[in-house]
């Protein structure tokens, strides 16, 4: 007998026996309609890249029904529907998540592969090693020679680590942090005479315990050292209406109140972000690509030569006539709206005795020689619904809106109130989806649209005029959504969503429910009203309301705008709720009730308790006690 073909056939047979099928997701299942899969995984997708440092990852999908499910030997709770949500440990590199499902006398297996990015820390700690990408500076930076500079790198703990920046200095030993011995750093002032105009990348070295050099890494960015008297420089802003970041990195968040125009003063650069100084109380950071580094410019010396006001219905317009375009900030309270003008020498002509439906006088304040502040005080009982701003040549124009004169009635308590509903996300049935997905493959964009239609019906029952930003089949970008919404001249804007968590967060250790997000301060009362309604009517945890830099609410400053996360569809029993039209109707009535609490609180206080009682009773009797979806009915 020829042994070679036999050995090959045995090898292939062995591979076939031990190779597990990849657990399918919705995308795969839709290609094979009618085929039954004993185990599915809807998240994470096959081959998903998980953020560096993750110790665990959530995983969810569905099986055929009750039974026993394990993932890499760890028991995972099953709901009576067969859905599951688990959290399993992972390590750096490629992880095989082996799912085994036993149903009666049958056992099924499937696998899902994910990759945790980064370096294996166990191996990293065993031998002297510097962690690539952690060396300061990661992007081009410049400091005054009299400023404190912190050289920093991550490396294997308990070793000698040095940094070199010739010709300014040769190897300088760094110090380990006591609580984080894998972080090495040292803060120094290089001092007078230390100049590095062309910039150079620092080099970091690590030595073993015997003092022998092992390896080195070079910082990702060049470091310039500039004389103190040259570090402050005006730089031209590329583009208009740019925001400052709160930190010198891309995850530091934005200063939502401030807009940069024309020319700004910079003081050095950190990791590719210029430090911008508008005045001593307003400092932020801008990406170096947003500022012209070569063009010589001067700071504006603006004169606001006149402040004029106009009134048109519910709109008060403040016109600041400038000699130049300048950067500005805004701030709000319940009783006022302020505009802070930078690089402004003086305000020549203004009238403080301004009276409109909203405004009860203007105040003028000299904050500093080059910073001026204008504050509009509101009349008692009036509130700011929103604002708009624009430049018309050098004239800075602010439009402040108060409520229209609504004709609410007892039978139509929201009569003629214009509300735009934005069903979040767009159709995409391939991984990665646009939005969240549930354990059974329910996609967020579908349910957002279904909910939007129900909310529209609920609002129209009270006399409101509700429109949607898009239809079910449209793919629409974020800026297009707010542009369409503004065309309706709305009184309110609600963006409807269903929630999910970041990869490495453990969902089994959190109370997951509803939450609300606003951007401008006029969204806070609406968020409070919506939270009150959800807390009273929906049997889910209250996760609160927050300010967040979401484009759809940031893009609607002219009205109270809110992003609503009604529940977490990644949780099996919460996803199952979405399949009940009665629950969709309850959500819709709850959102309408939140609008009533905000817009017509007197009517709401008198009528809502009776109005919603039947909905709450239906929910209690037909949904939350249903055995197949109750969170306490896991099998």
The pLDDT value recorded for residue 16 is: 42
- Per CATH, the architecture of 302-401 is what? Sandwich (2.60)
- The mean pLDDT of 23-45, rounded to a whole number, is 95
Percent of the chain with pLDDT over 90: 82
pLDDT surpassing 50 at residue 181: yes
Determine whether domain 19-116 maps to CATH 3.40.50.300: no
Categorize the per-residue pLDDT at 633 as very low, low, confident or very high, splitting at 50, 70 and 90.
Answer: very low
pLDDT surpassing 70 at residue 124: no
The pLDDT value recorded for residue 12 is: 43
The pLDDT value recorded for residue 619 is: 52
pLDDT surpassing 60 at residue 334: yes
pLDDT (tens digit per residue) in 144-166: 999 999 999 999 888 999 999 99
The chain-wide mean pLDDT, for the chain, equals 91
pLDDT (tens digit per residue) in 191-203: 988 999 999 999 9
- Per CATH, the architecture of 418-624 is what? 3-Layer(aba) Sandwich (3.40)
CA distance 487 to 270: 41
CATH code at 231-292 = 2.30.30.40
* Lookup: tokens for 409: 């009635």
CA distance 188 to 174: 11
The pLDDT value recorded for residue 184 is: 97
Percent of the chain with pLDDT over 70: 92
The DSSP bridge partners found for residue 100 are 70, 109
Categorize the per-residue pLDDT at 539 as very low, low, confident or very high, splitting at 50, 70 and 90.
Answer: confident
Edge-to-edge order in the sheet of strand 315-322: 344-347, 302-312, 315-322, 395-401, 386-392
The pLDDT value recorded for residue 210 is: 80
Half-sphere exposure of 562 (CA within 13 A, CB side): 29
Instruction: Indicate the Cα dihedral angle 544, 550, 552, 554, nearest 10°.
Output: 100
- Fold agreement between 19-116 and 231-292: no
- The mean pLDDT of 302-326, rounded to a whole number, is 96
> Taking each helix axis from N to C terminus, what angle separates 581-599 and 523-537, rounded to the nearest 10 degrees?
140
With vertex at residue 560, the alpha carbon angle to CA 559 and CA 561, rounded to the nearest 5 degrees, is 100
* Lookup: tokens for 482: 């707010």
CA distance 479 to 485: 10
* Lookup: tokens for 366: 């000299």
pLDDT surpassing 60 at residue 318: yes
Q: Are 177 and 311 within 8 A, CB to CB?
A: no
Among the listed residues 154, 180, 160, the one whose alpha carbon sits nearest the alpha carbon of residue 172: 160
pTM for the structure as a whole? 0.89
- The mean pLDDT of 345-366, rounded to a whole number, is 94
Residues ≥6 apart with Cβ < 8 Å to 346: 303, 304, 372
- The mean pLDDT of 372-379, rounded to a whole number, is 97
Edge-to-edge order in the sheet of strand 83-89: 39-43, 56-63, 83-89
Among the listed residues 102, 98, 123, 128, the one whose alpha carbon sits nearest the alpha carbon of residue 113: 98
Task: Tell me the CATH number of domain 122-227, given options 2.60.40.10, 3.40.50.261, 3.40.50.300, 1.10.10.10.
Answer: 2.60.40.10
List the domain boundaries for the chain: 19-116, 122-227, 231-292, 302-401, 418-624
């Amino acid at each position: 007998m020829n042994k070679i073909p036999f050995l090959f056939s045995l090898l292939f047979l062995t591979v076939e026996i031990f190779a597990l099928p990849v657990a399918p997701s919705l995308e795969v299942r839709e290609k094979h309609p009618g085929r039954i899969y004993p185990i599915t995984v809807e998240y994470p997708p096959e081959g998903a890249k998980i953020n560096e440092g993750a110790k665990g990852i959530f995983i969810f999908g569905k099986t055929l029904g009750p039974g026993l499910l394990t993932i890499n030997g760890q028991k995972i709770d099953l709901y009576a529907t067969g859905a599951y949500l688990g959290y399993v440990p992972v390590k750096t590199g490629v992880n095989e998540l082996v799912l085994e499902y036993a149903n009666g006398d049958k056992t099924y297996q499937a696998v899902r592969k994910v990759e945790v990015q980064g370096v294996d820390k166990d191996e990293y700690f065993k031998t002297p090693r510097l962690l690539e990408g952690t060396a300061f500076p990661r992007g081009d930076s410049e400091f005054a020679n009299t400023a404190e500079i912190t050289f920093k790198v991550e490396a294997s703990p308990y070793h000698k680590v040095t940094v070199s920046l010739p010709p300014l200095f040769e190897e300088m030993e760094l110090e380990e942090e006591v609580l984080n011995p894998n972080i090495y750093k040292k803060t120094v002032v290089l001092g007078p005479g230390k100049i590095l105009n062309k910039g150079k990348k620092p080099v970091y070295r690590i030595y073993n315990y015997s003092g022998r050099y092992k390896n080195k890494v070079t910082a990702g960015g060049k470091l310039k050292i500039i004389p103190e008297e040259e570090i402050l420089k005006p730089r031209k802003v590329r583009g208009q209406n740019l925001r400052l970041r709160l930190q010198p990195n891309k995850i530091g968040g934005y200063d939502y109140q401030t807009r940069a125009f024309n020319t700004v003063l910079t003081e050095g650069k950190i990791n590719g972000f210029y430090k911008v100084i508008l005045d001593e109380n307003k400092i932020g950071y801008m990406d170096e690509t947003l500022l012209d580094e070569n063009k010589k410019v001067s700071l504006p010396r603006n004169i606001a030569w006149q402040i004029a006001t106009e009134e048109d219905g519910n709109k008060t317009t403040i016109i600041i006539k400038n000699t130049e375009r300048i950067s500005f900030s805004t701030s709000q309270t319940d009783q006022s709206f302020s505009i802070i003008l930078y690089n402004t020498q003086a305000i020549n002509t203004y009238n403080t005795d301004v009276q409109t439906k909203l405004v009860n006088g203007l105040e003028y304040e000299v904050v500093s020689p080059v910073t001026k502040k204008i504050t509009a005080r509101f009349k008692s009982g009036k509130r700011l619904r929103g604002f708009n701003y624009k430049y018309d040549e050098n004239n800075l124009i602010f439009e402040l809106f108060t409520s229209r004169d609504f004709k609410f009635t007892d039978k139509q308590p929201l009569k003629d109130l214009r509300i735009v509903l934005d069903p979040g996300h767009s159709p995409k049935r391939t991984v990665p989806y646009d939005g969240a997905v549930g354990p059974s493959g329910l996609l967020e964009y579908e349910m957002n649209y279904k909910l939007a239609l129900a909310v529209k019906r609920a609002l129209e029952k009270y006399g409101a005029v509700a429109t949607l930003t898009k239809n079910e089949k449209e793919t629409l970008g974020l800026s297009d959504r707010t542009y369409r919404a503004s065309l309706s001249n709305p009184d309110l804007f609600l963006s409807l969503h269903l929630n999910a968590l970041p990869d490495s967060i453990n969902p089994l250790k959190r109370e997951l429910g509803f939450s609300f997000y606003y951007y401008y301060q006029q969204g806070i009362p609406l968020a409070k009203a919506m939270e009150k309604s959800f807390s009273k009517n929906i049997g889910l945890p209250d996760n609160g309301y927050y300010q967040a830099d979401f484009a759809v609410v940031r893009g609607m400053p002219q009205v109270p705008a809110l992003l609503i996360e009604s529940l977490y569809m990644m949780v099996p029993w919460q996803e199952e709720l979405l399949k009940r039209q009665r629950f969709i109707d309850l959500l819709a009535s709850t959102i309408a009730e939140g609008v009533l609490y905000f817009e017509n609180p007197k009517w709401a206080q008198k009528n809502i308790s009776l109005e919603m009682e039947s909905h709450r009773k239906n929910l209690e009797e037909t949904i939350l006690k249903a055995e197949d979806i109750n969170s306490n009915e896991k099998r």
